[in-house]
Structure formats: C-alpha cells, structure tokens
Structure 1
C-alpha cells in the first residue's frame, strides 16, 4: 500500500469522525432544549404548554386559588395578586400596608421557611363607609367588623414571596355563636332549676310561717314560669326551623295578623301603661277589629303566608317592644305597601332604650342579649328574635332592624303581596276573615300613604 492509499484512509476516517461528532452535538442540544421546556418553561411558553400565554395562565391560576394570593418582593412591593375585597383592604398603591403581614414577611426574608399566623385586622371605617347604612341591618347579614385572617408566607424564587390569605371571620363568628349558645342555655336552665330547689327547701323550713310560705311559693311560681317560658321558646324555635310554613300558606289579611299579635300583648302593655297604636297605609286604625271602618277592608293588604307562623313573629316583636320600653310610652305597629307595590311591610316601632350599633347584627342570634342583666330582670329568654327571624323567613320574607341608643328601635318585616285571586269561579281563596270581609287589591287606597 502506497502512501497515497494511507492518506486517503486517514482523510476518510477524519471526515467520518467530524460528521459523527457534529451529529451527536446536534442531538444533545435538541434533547437539552426539550428538557428545559418540559421542566422549567421558557420565555415564550408556560408550564401548561408552549402555546399557552404565560401572564394569562399565571393570573388565572392565582384567581382560582381557594386562598387570596399576593406575590411580592421582600419589602412588600406587590407584583401581582388575586382580585378580592380582602386584598383591596391589604394592598394600597401597589404595596402591602398591613403591618401584621409585613412582620411575617420580614421574618421569612431573614430566616427562610414558611410562616403561618392568624391575626385580627381592625376595621377601617373609611374603606367600609359604603357598607354602613342608616337603613338598618337585615337578619342573617353581618355588620362591618374586624376581620380574622389566616396568613401564610413563603419564598418562591429570585427574591419573590407568596402571601396566602384566608378570611376566617365567619368561622370565628360561628364558633363564638356556638360557644355563647351552650353557655347561655346551660345558665338559663340552671338558674331557675337551682332557684326552685333552694326555694323549696326554704318553704320546708318556714312551714310554721304562713306569710313566708306564701312569699316563697310566689317565687317558686315565678321561677317555674320562667323555666316554662324558656322550654316553650325552645320548642317554638325548633318548630320554626323545621316546619315548612310555606306549605300551609293561604291568602290572609295583614291587618288581621297584626291585630291578633297585638291582642296577645294588650295585658302586658296595660300593666306598663304603654299605648299601642296601629296604622294602615299611613292612616290610624283601631286595635279592635269590630271598631274598624267599613272602608278598611278595601285598603287592607293581602299576603300569602301561614297565619300562625307570621302571628308568632309579630307577637314576639310587639312583646319585645313592650318589654324594653319605659312606662307611659307608645308602641306603633304599621302595615303599608313598599314603593314597589308587589311588596309590603309590617313595622314595629318603640320608644325604648335602643340597641348599640355593635350589636345590631347579633340580636337575631339565639340567646344573644345586649344587656344580660336587664334581659333577665325583664324576663326575656333571648330566643324571641331568633324565633321571629325563622318565622319570617319561613313565610318567604325578610326582617331587618334599625336602632339608636336612647331613641328606640324599628323592626321591619317585608313580605310579598299576595297575587290577585283567580275570579273565573267567582270565589276568593280563604282570607281567614270574618264572613263578608274582603281584602283590598294591592294598588288600592291613597297612593300618598304608600312607602
């Protein structure tokens, strides 16, 4: 073999090696790029695919998370966040403004790891002014109050941190209601039961003193009545929660319900020299149905409810108004149409001690009392308004309260007006009224008296 053949062989070998090395480099580079795209994403794609917009995917993921999310740097400068009322109160001009959250963030920046804490954030009235209204608080809704937040902070990457916020205010509120309920019902049952037991022993020791026996017997009777009232209210509350009142609804007169409720409280009102004033569509009406004017039936308002359930609700409102009003004052009960004639209201207005604004959203809770000592002195069980709320809701209505300390309270029941009966058969539905009495159409009467 000549040197020419050797040179050609070497040249071919070099060419083959160069091609092999070039091909291996290209394959390795392609494999590395695929691994990078699959494992870390790229500038033009996201974790969900190369054709998914990164910003839209990131914001969408943040918005659907169960917790409110804020992504920020170590100083609290916000890069992005989920859109929620909680974050609106936490973020201002692109910065986290709550010192409690910033304290946790700084600990994570300095020490690393993930930190979690529950905190109470005081109400900012300037931010919540739109939620505060002079129209009162509807049963079941919450007045603006301090918030309880569970905050979790952790490091993401490159000096960025994630702040997760869960609003646990309602959970804490429910726990407080449950704790108060157990405490109050235990106290309410224990107090009269213990008093009856003690008084019975005292009567036994004073058997030779007729005056003392009569006195202690009267005390026993009073405590027994208190215990009976509490048990009765518990039964009524359970019935109001379980009974489907709308299944027994019938077309009835609103004034007949109000008069029945007022009638059950006339003795208590008379004992305190409290006058009860009724009005129908802005015009004064007599308490006694027999003294009603002939045209009242035409001005009356028909509603589709269960008579017994709604009567219980109004009776409790009137009873409360009498109980917490001073002597020689007036309790007013009105029946009128709303601005929207498809709805009507029953209002109970007193001139009593009023309710503090901080308690307005809690007065419909079971056993909640604004002033426990005064309530027990006046004989209240703390269940009347809870029963009323359930009764009204079962009738398809809502109840709200407005009050100011020293100026009295106004409780408003709003119900839908019953539709006009079908006249094809020439008969009305059962109005629950005396023979010959009819209920006026919703649009009748003087429009100026409508609300």
Structure 2
C-alpha cells in the first residue's frame, strides 16, 4: 500500500507540473502574439486616433514613418508619385529631413525636382515637401505636387514677355516714324512715305490689342451661356468676305463646298472669329494664283452611336479650310496653337500676323466642346479642321432620308481644290 501511495503521489505531482507548464506556455504564447512585430508596426493601429481619417482627406501626398524609417502609412498619391517603394521612403532628401525632424522636433520644408517614373525623358516633377513630428515616435511627411502650378506660372511669364515684346515693336516703330515725320516736315514726299508706314504700324498695333482682347474673352467667358444655332453657311460666307481683299490682291481663288444647310451650337461671334482666323491664315500663307477651299460636312461623334435627327445628339460638324501654301514642318505642328508661336516669324510680321490667331481658334473650339486639328505637308499646303457640336434645332428634317450618305462625303470642295 505504501508503494501504491507513493506512486499515486508522484503521478499527482507530475500532473500538476504538466498543468503548470502548459499554462505557462499558453500565457507565453499569448504574450508573444500581443508583442508588436515589424509587420504589426506598419498598420493603422499605431497611428494616433483620428490621424488616419485626416490623412485620407488631404490633397497632399502623405507618408508616416516610424523610428526605423519604415512606412507606417502612405496615401495612394504617395505611391503614384513614386515616393514609397518596398515599404520605404524612396527619396533620400526627404528621408534625411525626416531623420533630422525626428531628432530635434523641428518642422522642415523644401522644394525638390524629382525624376518622373517610367518616362525616360528626364522630365522633372516639382514638389514641395514638409516634414513634422507626429507624436513621440512618428514623423509625418506631406508632399505637394507643384508641377502644374510651375507650368502655368511659366506660361504666364512667357505670355507677359511675349506681349511686352510684341507691343514694344510697333510702339517703337511709331515713335521713330513720328520723329522722322517731324524732321522731314519740309519734304512732302517723305512725310507721305513715313505716314504710310505709321498707318501700317498703327494697324498692326490695333490688331494685336484686339486679338489680346479676343483671347481674354474666349478664355474667361462661357460661350454656351448665349449659345444659339448658327448656320455654317453664314460663318463660311463671313470668313470668305473677311479675306476677300487680300485674296484678290494675290489672285487667290476662294470657294466653299460640302454639305449645305448645317448648323452648329455656340456663340456666333466667337465661331465667326475662329473660322475667319483659319481662312485669313490660309490666304496669308499661300502664294499667288493658288486656291483656298472651305468645306463642311456632318460626321458622327466617337461613341455617339449615331446621330439623332431630332436633337442632334452625338453629331459633329467638320469645317475644313484647305490651302496650297507653304505647309508646316512636322516639328512645329504641336506648337502652332501656342500663343505668339510662329513657324516663320519674318513672314508673320510681313503679313501682319500676331501669333494669336490659332490660339484663339483652339480656345473657341475647346470652349464649345469641340477641337481643331491640322494636317500639313511642307510645300503642298495645309488643312485645318474645326469640329463642333451640331445644333439639332437647325437641322432640315428632310435630311433623314440621306443622312447616311452625308456622313461619308469628302471633306474638300471638289470644285475648288484639285
């Protein structure tokens, strides 16, 4: 019996020890699971309450770093800009700023130019980075993309510089010519010659100021507030009449063709100015004894699924102006719609061009929900095509029977252009 009692006691003691060990192991496992790991540090749980919500509504790219420089939180914009890669901040100057701020608690800000990801063209991405401490362990990095703001500022500076230069030329010429007239007061022939030059420069100055006003209007005004159905035939006739005198001087033939009785929806004055600029350029940049054609047709807008005869939904009107002029080099085609850009500055000044005409055309087309495109070959001529939404109210209801035919008509005027 004593032996059995001893065995039972030993078994009881062993069972108790096993239970204690199991309990300790379970407790250790719970403690180990609760201990923060490197992975768990990268979750939102380590952020102070409310910070995650605030970061989600910020327009800036946001990155939160811990004491080991690992990314705890990063917005989608930060990944899109290439700031975060592999859980780390990929921009060394920003990383150094974060370390300095973590060390002394100072808020820092700097502007940087970063290479764009995936372009291979060395284009810079302008950003403003601001680093601030977030609690006792974390650092917050906010990055603002300044690329578009820089571009707009550069355009503004170029515009001011170009306007100043363009205004200075005729104003300076008028000043010199007026002095010449005063010095030649006893020479009627010289006075007449200088007065004629003064008229030319004054006209150039007037045209420049007027086109600056027109450009400002088309950029700032909403043309669709006073929109109405406008007959394309009337726009074409007005554009031809505007350039009739210079065309006659150069013996350039102008004629219209294409589909008759079309209407576009928009501001009549702006549309007339845009088409007039295209026809005027065609005449100015064409040699004598050539032809300029203006043709209009109806087409189906991409994705329009056809054109509604009743309301004009999905329909576009194309108005093409074709010349047999000097053409445009390939390298200049993407820039000809920029303000004050000239393919041939000397020729532009000789024809009185300001370099604003095509910029006005582009803005008018865009503000009317359309576009302007160009096809050109050096030495063969150019075709500028203005595409605008069709006005359903002005359509001839009888066109239902031949609508499919009119959408495939050639864009050029066969009786004008070879």
- For normalisation by structure 2, the TM-score amounts to 0.65
Where does residue 405 of structure 2 map in the other structure?
A: 445
In structure 2, the residue matched to 1:193 is 171
Q: What is residue 31 of structure 2 aligned with on the other side?
A: none
SS of corresponding position for 1:150: strand
Alignment of 1:53-132 (within 5 A): 58=52, 60-72=53-65, 78-84=71-77, 87-91=79-83, 93-94=85-86, 101-109=91-99, 112=103, 113-123=106-116, 126=119
Task: Provide the residue aligned with 1:25 in structure 2.
Answer: none
Residue aligning to 1:309: 270
> Aligned pair in 2 of structure 1 residues 257, 125: CA closer, same or farther (>3 Å)?
farther
Aligned to 1:39: none
Distance 1:346 1:82, change over 3 A: farther
Give the TM-score normalised by structure 1: 0.61
Higher relative contact order (CA 8 A, sep 6+): 1
Shift of 1:318: 2.5
Three-state SS of the structure 1 residue aligned to 2:63 is: strand
Q: Which runs of no fewer than 5 residues in structure 1 stay unpaired?
A: 1-41, 50-56, 129-143, 281-295, 423-427, 429-437
Q: 2:143 aligns with which of 160, 165, 174?
A: 165
1:220 corresponds, among 179, 191, 198, to 198
Q: Is the 8 A contact 1:115 1:154 kept in 2?
A: yes
Q: 1:369 to 1:172 in 2, by over 3 A?
A: farther
Deviation at 1:260, TM superposition (A): 2.3
In the TM superposition, residue 421 of structure 1 has moved relative to its aligned partner by 6.0
Indicate if the aligned counterparts of 2:97 and 2:131 stay in contact, CA closer than 8 A: no
State the distance in 1 between where 2:126 and 2:372 align.
25
SS at 2:353's partner residue?
A: coil
Cα distance change of structure 1 residues 45 and 183 upon mapping to structure 2, 3 Å threshold:
closer
Contact 1:304 1:417 in 2 (8 A): yes
Determine the C-alpha separation between the residues in 1 that align with 2:345 and 2:87: 44
- Partners of 1:325 and 1:115 lie apart in 2 by 59
Give the structure 2 partner of residue 177 of structure 1.
155
Work out which of the residue numbers 344, 364, 369 in structure 2 matches 1:397: 369
Match for residue 361 of structure 2 among 388, 402, 411:
388
CA distance in 2, matches of 1:95, 1:236: 52
Task: Please say if 1:153 is aligned against 2:131.
Answer: yes
Give the CA deviation at 1:194.
2.3
Of 255, 273, 277 in structure 1, the residue corresponding to residue 233 of structure 2 is 255
* Secondary structure of 1:352's aligned partner: coil
* Residue equivalent to 1:353: 328
**Distance of aligned partners of 1:344 and 1:421 in 2 relative to their CA distance in 1, 3 Å threshold:** closer
Partner of 2:175: helix, strand, or coil?
Answer: helix
The reply on whether 1:419 has 2:392 as its aligned counterpart is: yes
Partner of 2:337: 363
Distance 1:43 1:359 in 2: 47
CA-atom RMSD in angstroms: 4.4
- 3-state SS in 1 of match to 2:328: coil
User: Quick one: distance in 1 between partners of 2:222 and 2:164?
Assistant: 29
- How many residues align? The count is 350
